[in-house]
Amino acid sequence: MKIAENTFNSPYQADKNGFYGRFGGAYIPEMLYPNVEELQLKYKEILADPSFQEEFQQLLTDYVGRPSPLYLAKRLSEKYGGHIYLKREDLNHTGAHKINNTVGQILLAKRLGKKRIIAETGAGQHGVATATVCALMNMECVVYMGSVDIKRQAPNVARMKMLGATVVPATSGSETLKDATNEAIRDWINNPVNTHYILGTAAGPHPYPDMVARFQSVISEEIRKQLLEKTGKEIPDYVVACIGGGSNAAGAFYHFLDEPSVRLIAVEAAGHGNDSGESAASTVLGKVGLIHGAKTLLMQTDDGQITEPYSISAGLDYPGIGPMHAHLFESGRGTFLSATDNEALAAAFELTRLEGIIPALESSHAVAKLKDLALRPEEVVVVCLSGRGDKDMEAYIRNLDKF
Amino acid sequence: MNRIDQLFAQKKQNVLNVYCTAGFPTLESTLPVMQALQSAGADLIELGMPFSDPLADGPVIQDSSTQALKNGMTLARLFEQLKDFRSSIQLPVILMGYLNPILQMGVENFCRQCAAVGVDGLILPELPLPEYEKEYQAIFEKYGLYLIFLVTPETSEARLRRLDAASKGFLYAVSSSSTTGKDKDMGDQTAYFRKLQALHLKNPVLIGFGIKDKGTFTTACTYSNGAIIGTAFIKAIANANDALPATVKSFIQGIIA
Ligand SMILES: Cc1ncc(COP(=O)(O)O)c(C=O)c1O
């Protein structure tokens, strides 16, 4: 395995300034410039370094437990047609795809000589994955998390604390992922020398979207190999993934971006419905704007104030999407769907009962759209099952008698 | 001549620039605060355009921004409020803010309105230098708007020179790498301030962030042409209510008298 090298000249990859079409870039105040510039100048070189590759691959294998299985979900396939494979990121150490990125970034932080790590988290999976690698590497760890999310993802807060991280509540705005990210960025501004910011999704200023996508690209690299072994063909008809900022989707799509026959399906959170005023579906409700240093599709008022999103899923409760995805949307390369809270809950219960797999609420949004694909019997679908549902048991129990 | 240039042609020392958030503490405070600043003896006004997610700001300015938005402040309303401000205010005025509301209004439309009401300059910390040069500079120049760049203690010398060359009116030297309103010790920054002096920059330099009283103002002014006060001023007027002009006056006098 090798971390994706940008050797092909894909229109769906970041250009040298971090733009995907008209989206991306690095719109940051001067106080962040030296840190972000350092990353921009060094990330490709560090990622390409053989000793980095070796350490990264070893940790992915021995610590994360990769490759993650590609599982043919027979009963789900019977119900929706086609051959539905689940890419089991939920079986990774710490329970989600987030660890692929944090392992990569902690190794990078070490090579940059950083001593202190900060992160934002929504569902808490990225916070746990960051606290985990910080424990492993003996680094100080501070995680910012919206107060609303601290309540709705309590098990992950406990895990972070046990792992030795300091969890700082973000109390502004809707007290969710956007606000946690604001606080993490402010921390970085105030600690310009010794701190690395492990951003947890394919968003933020260049080079984060590209760097995170590269660390997550192991997902599609494995899918290709595993499909070849299982079906004799590397290329599926569909790849389906949920989108908060877009890191699991970026990883699952990465090695299929330039395979035009593969339909890339991105699923956003529609909360109570896209007309309800309580949704997080940025491609439906957003316009071009700037959030967290990147130009992308953003939910906002006519006055350009960022609006507060809503989703039952803390990991998808974000008013923007990563710039790669904004470009996939605008160029038509990706198909963007959205799933409501209720559709996601129904999908979670169905997957649990058909396959014995309790998914994370985020991942359930991806599973929920299988019903909309109208699959033909011969078609092959890969759904990125980005995480497991342990953290969401409270929401599931609350809804047990509805489904 | 741009009013900012006029100011620095006349005054090279102890220039006091005060930041206030438009529409704070009440929606209709914008003009009264500016008028009070002028009569109290400020030299320059930096008017903040409120934004929902002010990434570079600490809690005090964040809260003022949130309050202003709650009061109903918008960019369009700000230009309405500023329509006739030049009939009473002669000080140079700079609009400071985040890019997204400007993008929504349209950059050229925004600049046209700035020029129409009599704004002299802009501080847009998120606007990247190359993009400014490629896409914005010509528009700003067409409307006579100066863009003021920020530098920090972490800014390399080569970049300092680049930013000084691009900046118009003055250069904004952030005293320590931080969000606004952090109480970092100014005494620790003297090496950085001396370095700025030794570079003999093309622009006048104003030091901002952490200037909160006479002592910090005086310290900053010994190394520069003047200083910028934000958080301390916002705190002072937050609960001023009817006594706004008197509050502003005593605050400013406490700094410059
Ligand atoms: C299990 C899981 N899936 C998906 C996401 C959404 O993030 P992204 O869009 O970056 O994959 C999260 C974020 O917290 C998550 O925990």
SS3 content of chain B, % helix, strand, coil (to 5): 50, 15, 35
CA gap A218, A56 in Å, rounded: 11
**Is the minimum distance from the CB of A386 to ligand 1 under 6 angstroms?**
yes
Mutate to test the interface with B, among A17, A22, A23, A33 (most CBs of B within 10 A): A33
Map residue A300 onto helix, strand or coil: strand
Name the percent of chain B lying above pLDDT 90. Answer: 94
Reported as a single tens digit per residue, the pLDDT across B136-182 is 999 999 999 999 999 999 999 999 999 999 999 999 999 998 999 98
* Interface membership of B58 toward A (CB under 8 Å): yes
Reported as a single tens digit per residue, the pLDDT across B223-236 is 999 999 999 999 99
The question of whether B183 is a catalytic residue gets the answer no
CA gap B37, B34 in Å, rounded: 5
Q: Say if the Cβ atoms of A30 and B127 lie within 8 Å.
A: no
Strands (E), A129-247: 140-146, 166-170, 195-197, 238-242
CA gap A226, A71 in Å, rounded: 10
CA distance A237 to chain B (A): 38
The residue whose C-alpha atom lies closest to atom 7 belonging to ligand 1 is A244
CA gap A19, A4 in Å, rounded: 18
CA gap B202, B166 in Å, rounded: 10
Give, as one character, the DSSP assignment of residue A160. Answer: H
In sign, the C-alpha dihedral spanning A44, A45, A48, A51 is negative
Distance (Å) from CA A247 to ligand 1 centroid? 7
Residue B241's nearest CA partner among B19, B26, B61 is: B26
Is the ipTM of this structure higher than 0.90? yes
Which amino acid does the sequence have at B245? Answer: P
The question of whether B141 is a catalytic residue gets the answer no
Upper half-sphere CA count for residue B51 (Cβ side, 13 Å): 25
Tell me the C-alpha to C-alpha distance, in Å, between residue B60 and each of A61, A85, B108, B241, B251.
47, 51, 31, 17, 17
Find, in chain B, the residue whose alpha carbon is nearest to that of A307.
B52
- Residue A1 pLDDT: 46
pLDDT at B187 over 80: no
The pTM (predicted TM-score) of the whole model is 0.97
Instruction: Please return the burial class of A75, using the count of CB atoms within 10 Å of its CB with bins 0-12, 13-18 and 19+.
Output: middle
- Which residue from B76, B150, B159 is facing A29, i.e. has the nearest CB? B150
Cis peptide before B25 (omega within 30 of 0): yes
Nearest atom in ligand 1 to A177's CA: 14
Q: Length of chain A, please?
A: 403
- Residue A6 pLDDT: 53
- Residue A3 pLDDT: 62
For chain A (403 residues), the mean pLDDT of every run of 10, in chain order, is 60 95 97 96 97 98 98 98 98 98 98 98 96 98 96 95 98 91 97 96 98 98 98 98 98 97 98 97 98 98 96 96 98 98 98 98 98 97 98 96 93
CA gap A302, A286 in Å, rounded: 11
- Residue B219 pLDDT: 95
Q: Which CATH number fits domain B14-256: 3.40.50.200, 3.30.200.20, 3.20.20.70, 3.40.190.10?
A: 3.20.20.70
The phi, psi pair for A385, rounded to 5°, reads -90, 90
First to last CA, chain B: 29
- Which residue from A30, A172, A293 is facing B151, i.e. has the nearest CB? A30
Which amino acid does the sequence have at B22? Answer: A
Mutate to test the interface with A, among B27, B100, B151 (most CBs of A within 10 A): B100
Reported as a single tens digit per residue, the pLDDT across A276-300 is 999 999 999 999 999 999 999 999 9
- Chain B residues within 8 A of A178 when measuring between CB atoms: 53
Q: Say if the Cβ atoms of A190 and B76 lie within 8 Å.
A: no
The dihedral region occupied by A304, where left means phi > 0, alpha psi between -120 and 50, and beta the remainder, is: left
Q: Which domains does chain A have, with CATH numbers?
A: 33-59+98-212 (3.40.50.1100), 63-95+217-402 (3.40.50.1100)
